[in-house]
Structure 1
Amino acid sequence: MDLALYQPDIPQNTGTLIRLGACMGITVHIIHPAGFPITPKGLARAGLDYIEHASMREHDSFSQFEEWRAAEGRRLVLLTTKASQSAYDAAYQHTDILLLGRESAGVPDSVAERADLRVRIPMRPGLRSINVALAGSMIIGEAMRQIGRFTELS
């Protein structure tokens, strides 16, 4: 199970998700361009000292990420408000990569079309979305629960 961030534009959310990755033992992929420099200093406030414990991989573009993903044979699961399937009705796999879009704009249609599975978090009508770091945490937790990863961390 990995987490991918598509062109993140808020360093605090990115730092929070890298910290989550460190604590949960998952790799966080950063798909560039990001809206800020991906540096320890830029991520330090939210990531604290967890950055040094994180597994992080940067990709220069979505096409580069896709080439890597295809070579690895990994399924891409997009978390999006435009999906009809609940993230809690999906069946996750050990090799899944959960993709989160930009905080300001999500992902373009061309990226969404590449996803093997699109899921959403059910929420009250009339509200747009949940903070990307919170949403990613919620679904990483559900996916890890389903595949038994929490027993590996004990």
Structure 2
Amino acid sequence: MNVVLVEPEIPPNTGNVARLCAATGSVLHLVHPLGFRIDDRHLRRAGLDYWPHVAVREHESLAAFFRVTAPGPHLFFSARGGRPYTEAPVADGAFLVFGKEATGLPADLLSAHRERTFRVPIWGRVRSLNLATAVGIVVYDAYRRLGFPAGA
């Protein structure tokens, strides 16, 4: 599985997602610009000693990411998605794409990929979930639906 963070802004969120990727053997893709430096102490602290176990790929832009990862499959996750994440057609090697904390994924990207855009439902009195929490929900459900890797 591939976890993609587009222009993440908060180091501890990215550190927590990196730890998730280490725990699941997922590849972490970071799409620039980042709201921090990759050697940020808060980022490293959130990831603790797991950084050597995370496969991190950096991309200079969203366009560069798509050039390298075509044909995908790419699945997009946004509070503005139409269907719940449980309906996302996950496949081994899928790219699970999440936007930055403040604004999410660009509106034009979501419009162009409406049929592949999903949301994590929220029914309480908040407007969004923490990025790392949303990523964790989606990644573990994707692995569950794929039958978890051997030994999990």
Aligned residues between the structures: 151
Contact 1:81–1:121, Cα closer than 8 Å, also in 2 = yes
Supply the AA of the counterpart residue of 1:145: R
Q: Which residue of 2 aligns with 1:143?
A: 142
Which aligned pairs between 1:1-154 and structure 2 lie closer than 5 A?
A: 1-39=1-39, 41-70=41-70, 73-115=71-113, 117-124=116-123, 126-148=125-147, 150-154=148-152
Distance 1:130 1:99 in 2: 15
Secondary structure of the residue aligned to 2:85 is: coil
TM-score by length of structure 1 reads 0.91
Secondary structure of the residue aligned to 1:124 is: coil
Supply the AA of the counterpart residue of 2:132: A
Q: How many angstroms does 1:151 deviate by?
A: 3.5
Give deviations 1:33-82, integer Å, cap 9, x for gaps.
Answer: 00000126452110000011101100011110010111xx2111111011
Q: How many angstroms does 1:124 deviate by?
A: 0.7
Q: 1:92 to 1:38 in 2, by over 3 A?
A: same
TM-score by length of structure 2 reads 0.92
Unmatched 5+ stretches in structure 2 = none
Question: RMSD of aligned C-alpha atoms?
Answer: 1.6
Secondary structure of the residue aligned to 1:9 is: coil
Structure 1 runs (4+) greater than 3 angstroms displaced? 113-116
The percentage of aligned residue pairs carrying the same residue is: 32
Unmatched 5+ stretches in structure 1 = none
Q: How many angstroms does 1:98 deviate by?
A: 0.6
Distance 2:98 2:74 in 1: 10
Q: How many angstroms does 1:126 deviate by?
A: 4.8
Q: 1:87 to 1:53 in 2, by over 3 A?
A: same
Supply the AA of the counterpart residue of 2:14: T
Contact 2:143–2:149, Cα closer than 8 Å, also in 1 = no
